[in-house]
Amino acid sequence: MVSLSRRSLCVVFGVGVVLLAGGGIMIPVVNMLVKDKIKQTVIISNTSELYDVWSEPPLPIYMQFYMFNLSNPAEVKQGKKPFLVQRGPYTYREHRKKYDITFNENGTVTYRQKRTFFFEREMSVGDVETDLIVTANPPVLAVIEAMQHAPPALRTLVSIALRTQQEDIFMTHTVNETLFGYTDPALKILQSQFPDWFYTDYVGYFINKNDTDDGLYTVFTGKNDISNLGQIDMYNGSRYVSYWTTPWANMINGSDGTISPPFEHDTKQAPMFSSDVCRSVFGVYSEDVKTTQGIPLRRFLGSPLELANVTENPDNIGFCTPDETKCLPSGLLNISNCQIVDYFKIPVVVSFPHFYLADPTVQDSVGGLHPVAEEHQTAVDLEPWTGLVLRAFKRLQINMYLTNVQGFSQTANVPTVFLPIFWMNESAVVDDKHATMLQRQLFVPLEVTAVLEKVFMIVGGVLVVFVFGMSCRQRYTRFKQTALPPGPIPSTSSISFAPPRMRNGERMPLLRERGNEQPPPPPPARNLPTVPPPTSARNQSEA
Give whichever of 6-10, 38-42, 113-117, 318-322 has the largest mean pLDDT.
113-117
pLDDT tens digits, one per residue of 265-295 = 888 999 999 999 999 999 999 999 999 888 8
229 pLDDT above the threshold of 90: yes
| CB 401 within 8 Å of CB 347 | yes
Among 65-69, 128-132, 171-175, 459-463, whose mean pLDDT is lowest?
459-463
Task: Tell me the C-alpha distance between 384 and 388, whole Å.
Answer: 8
- What's 469-493 look like in SS3? HHHHHHHHHHHHHHHCCCCCCCCHH
Query: Which pLDDT belongs to residue 540?
Result: 47
> What is the three-class DSSP state of 165?
coil
Residue 219 Cα to chain centre, angstroms: 19
- What's 203-229 look like in SS3? ECCCCCCCCEEEEEEEEECCCCCHHHC
Q: Are strands 296-302 and 333-334 parallel, antiparallel or unpaired?
A: unpaired
Q: Between 516 and 34, whose confidence is greater? A: 34
| CB 450 within 8 Å of CB 27 | yes
| Other C-beta atoms lying within 10 Å of the C-beta of residue 471 | 15
Query: Which pLDDT belongs to residue 90?
Result: 97
Alpha helices in 43-131 (DSSP H): 51-55, 73-77
Among 59-63, 231-235, 494-498, whose mean pLDDT is lowest?
494-498
Percentage of the chain lying above the pLDDT 70 cut: 75
Query: Which pLDDT belongs to residue 136?
Result: 95
pTM recorded for the entire structure: 0.78
Residue 458 Cα to chain centre, angstroms: 33
78 pLDDT above the threshold of 80: yes
| Other C-beta atoms lying within 10 Å of the C-beta of residue 205 | 19
502 pLDDT above the threshold of 60: no
Question: What does the DSSP 8-state code read for residue 137?
Answer: -
473 pLDDT above the threshold of 70: no
Task: Tell me the C-alpha distance between 336 and 347, whole Å.
Answer: 5
| CB 315 within 8 Å of CB 279 | no
> What is the three-class DSSP state of 532?
coil
Closest CA to 163 of 153, 155, 152, 172: 155
Q: What are the b/e assignments for 139-170, b being 16+ CB within 10 Å?
A: bbbbbbbebeeeeeeebbebbeebeebebebb
> What is the three-class DSSP state of 146?
helix
Task: Tell me the C-alpha distance between 22 and 449, whole Å.
Answer: 11
CA distances to 248, 254, 310, 343 from 251, rounded to whole Å, are 5, 10, 18, 25
Residue type, 147: M
The pLDDT-based confidence of 125 (bands split at 50, 70, 90) is: very high
Closest CA to 62 of 284, 395, 355, 383: 395
Q: Between 318 and 190, whose confidence is greater? A: 318
Query: Up-side HSE of residue 527: CA atoms within 13 Å toward CB?
Result: 0
257 pLDDT above the threshold of 50: yes
Task: Tell me the C-alpha distance between 314 and 304, whole Å.
Answer: 13
Helix count and strand count (H, E) for the chain: 13, 19
pLDDT tens digits, one per residue of 399-422 = 999 998 888 888 889 999 999 999
Query: Which pLDDT belongs to residue 258?
Result: 83
| Other C-beta atoms lying within 10 Å of the C-beta of residue 102 | 9
Q: How many residues does the chain have?
A: 543
Query: Which pLDDT belongs to residue 113?
Result: 95
Residue type, 360: P
532 pLDDT above the threshold of 50: yes
Residue 244 Cα to chain centre, angstroms: 29
> What is the three-class DSSP state of 444?
helix
Residue 60: asked if its preceding bond is cis (omega within 30°), the reply is no
The pLDDT-based confidence of 434 (bands split at 50, 70, 90) is: confident
537 pLDDT above the threshold of 50: no
Closest CA to 30 of 495, 456, 445, 528: 445
The pLDDT-based confidence of 518 (bands split at 50, 70, 90) is: low
Task: Tell me the C-alpha distance between 66 and 422, whole Å.
Answer: 5
> What is the three-class DSSP state of 42?
helix
